[in-house]
Amino acid sequence: MTTCRRKSLLKVILLGDSFVGKTSLMNQYVKKQFSNQYKITVGADFLAKDIMIDDRVVTMQIWDTAGQERYKSLHAGYYRAADCCILVYDVTNPKSFESLDMWREEFLIRADPHDPESFPFVLLGNKIDAETNRAVSSRQAQNWCKYKNDMLYYEVSAKEAINVEEGFQAIARNALQRD
């Protein structure tokens, strides 16, 4: 460890095509709720959750878009001072997987982190409950991550609450590494 500055507030932002389940993942993680109805996200910019990491309490602010991802028109404040960027795709939708490069680039351009090479991203492949409609294999996703500086990858389901807790815990840990 080279530094000892301790952060107690982490800003993590969600990015990915619309309909991949960004809002559902946040709601499942923070509120333990899931809805099958598609609602364009409105209201607050983020939800906050206090979590324990190695005996310390950290407040994780999870920022969700209000549907502007369709137009790539997220305001500058969305990206500002993010500690971790969560990229989300839908394992049943290849197009959402193909968009990942664009979202990653978009983040790097708009957030302009000091050290883009080591900035913590985490990839979530959502909707693994819909196994029969699966269109992107784990292997494809792992391979993509490998070439993106070994990005962490979790396969999750907001609907069935599979791996959501683990995924966000890894996100928090990853964001804290920048301390």
Nearer to ligand GDP among residue 53 and residue 129 (C-beta):
129
Q: Which residues pair with 86 in a beta bridge?
A: 14, 122
Nearer to ligand GDP among residue 94 and residue 116 (C-beta):
94
Q: Does residue 19 interact with ligand GDP by CB under 6 A?
A: yes
Answer with the entry of ligand GDP, Mg ion, none that 24 interacts with (C-beta below 5 to 8 A by kind). Answer: ligand GDP
- Residue that the structure tokens 């959502």 belong to: 126
Q: Which of 14, 16, 23, 26 lies at the binding interface for Mg ion (CB under 5 A)? A: 23
- C-beta of 176: minimal distance to ligand GDP in Å? 25
CA nearest neighbour of 67 among 100, 18, 104: 18
Q: Which of 12, 13, 20, 171 lies at the binding interface for ligand GDP (CB under 6 A)? A: 20
Task: Concatenate the DSSP letters of all residues of 96-129 into one string.
Answer: HHHTHHHHHHHHHHHH--S-GGG--EEEEEE-TT
Cα gap 106→115, rounded to integer Å: 15
Q: Which of 11, 21, 85, 103 lies at the binding interface for ligand GDP (CB under 6 A)? A: 21
Nearer to ligand GDP among residue 3 and residue 132 (C-beta):
132
Nearer to ligand GDP among residue 101 and residue 112 (C-beta):
101
User: How far from chain centre, in Å, is Cα 21?
Assistant: 10
How far does the chain reach from its first CA to its final CA, in angstroms?
A: 10
Site for ligand GDP in 97-156 (CB under 6 A): 126-127, 129-130
